Amino acid sequence: MFMRETRPRRASSAGARGRRGQRRGRTAAVAAAVAVAAGAVLVTPAPAARAAVSLEKAGDFGPNPGALNMYVYRPAGLPRNAAVVVALHGCTQSAQVYADNSGLSTFADRYHFLLVFPETTPANNGNRCFNFFEPGDNRRGQGEAASIRQMVAAVAAGYGTDPARVYVTGLSAGGAMTAVLLAAYPDVFRAGAVVAGIPYDCAGTVAAAYTCMNPGVDRTPAVWADSVRNAHPGYGGPWPRVAVWHGDRDTTVVPANADELRDQWTAVHGLGQVPDRTSTIGPDGTRREQYLAADGSVAVEVDRVPSIGHGTPVDPGTGPQQCGATGTAHFIRSVCSSYWITGFFGLDGSGPGAGDLPAPGGLSLTGATDTSLTLAWNGVGGAASYAVYRDGVRIATPGGPPFTDTGLSPGSTHTYSVAARDGAGAEGARSAGISASTTGVSPRCWTADNYQQVRAGRATTDGGHAYAKGSHQDMGLYNTFTTHTLKESPAGYFVLADGACP
């Protein structure tokens, strides 16, 4: 197979070797700066974990202007037309370290998708950071971004993977490069998950990268979105779905970057910055904020992990929602982020299939209680069953209507859609979404000035500003002249809801 390398990899061209030689000298002089700017805490390589994941190293995978290494993890029983997840390591790390500790291979084995691990080298960056801040590496058709795009093309040719189901995730500098790829190649990557990263086009130099990481750069959603649109002029969508993961005690890449990433990608999708739904997930109560597209699917989500610093959240163990390993720098015991990211990508079976059945019509709400909603729809000829989606996530596959969704919260609102499934389980098109609410008490709202919100315990203060308790959304100056509405959902978790609270 072409993916196995039996000789040392050569540079892609003499020109690339020359450019990399010049860069080696430049990055050596600022190695520590690059490491901090890209999210590294250490300036020496992290100790390698015991190699538990068997990777194949690619030889000549095609044009490689970024002079990257390429590794692949192929689970047993990989089918034709499998999905692909590109996984980008953080500074001081390697492809092997990221494969061994992130937990992604657990779900590649479980759900049969291919993993691609690009790897940078000290020749590119003295601390093994992806050069997300280098204009020669973070633009479409150039440098490292172009090399990673070529890796996707190579596995499509070599393994027969599905070009329509390609995803990307990464930590720190790898998270920042994830944002680069989503912006530069929205026609290639269907969705991405940025872990402890920064918005696209925040930095074009090492000095600017310092500022982006800490204290962060505040731009309007429209300005951030224009940066994405300008990365591939003329592209009209669809835009990739984006998940943002960030520890709320990260002092290397401050949590404000999660808000700026949210602003960037909600604006790209034409959405507001107030979440449509909030919840908690995982054993540590990670706070999830979701922003819904018109069809009820999640276009953007932000997952704020409590009480952790800079790193990939993992939860070692053998439970269905556990994964990863600790003991290596920047893998932190909390929640298995790879489990939830796999679900966000729709690779856990919650995504739609590729069947030919038409969308069911007539989806309607026929009953509601405090904790349940009952739906009905018109049957589809040839359907063996149906897939019911709540808020963009498949929750059941009943044989037909009606269907009752139980275990909901009183006063909660959800968006539903339905797809027909053939005898092989392939799903057709989804129906138009409908919004439905349970009975009972709606989420509570309070309108008051920032001083009163803080005194009531619904907000906190830091540096002269007030922040909503739970969501940490910036409410502006801590004074009696600035007024906002806060919505509590779930209990103890507050979000800005100016003009959007019942």
Omega of the bond leading into 255 within 30 degrees of 0 (cis): no
CA angle 406, 412, 413 (to 5 degrees): 95
> How many residues are listed for the chain in this entry?
502
Q: Which of 12, 105, 172, 334 is catalytic?
A: 172
By the 8 A CB rule, do 296 and 276 touch? no
**427 DSSP β-pair partners:** 421
Segments of 77-190 assigned E as strands? 84-88, 114-119, 166-171
Task: Look up 172 and say whether it is catalytic.
Answer: yes
Q: Which residue has tokens 């001081």?
A: 92
Tokens of 50: 């015991």
- Strand duo 385-390 + 413-421: pairing: antiparallel
Sheet with 166-171, strands from edge to edge, namely: 56-57, 69-73, 114-119, 84-88, 166-171, 191-195, 241-247, 298-305, 286-292, 277-281
Helix ranges (DSSP H) in 42-163: 95-102, 104-111, 143-159
3-state secondary structure 17-28: HHHHHHHHHHHH
The C-alpha torsion from 375 through 381 and 382 to 383, rounded to 10°, is 0
Backbone angles phi, psi at 29, to 5 degrees: -75, -25
Asked if 488 and 461 touch (Cβ cutoff 8 Å), the reply is no
| Cis-peptide, bond into residue 402, ω within 30° of zero | yes
Residue pair 303/337 in contact (Cβ under 8 Å)? The answer is yes
Phi/psi at 257 (nearest 5 deg)? -65, -30
Of 133, 115, 120, 108, residue with least CA distance to 33: 133
- Distance (Å, whole) CA 257 – CA 293: 22
DSSP states along 300-365: EEEEEETT--SSEEEB-SSSTT-B---SSTTEEES--HHHHHHHHTTTTTTS-----PPPP---EE
- Residues with catalytic function: 172
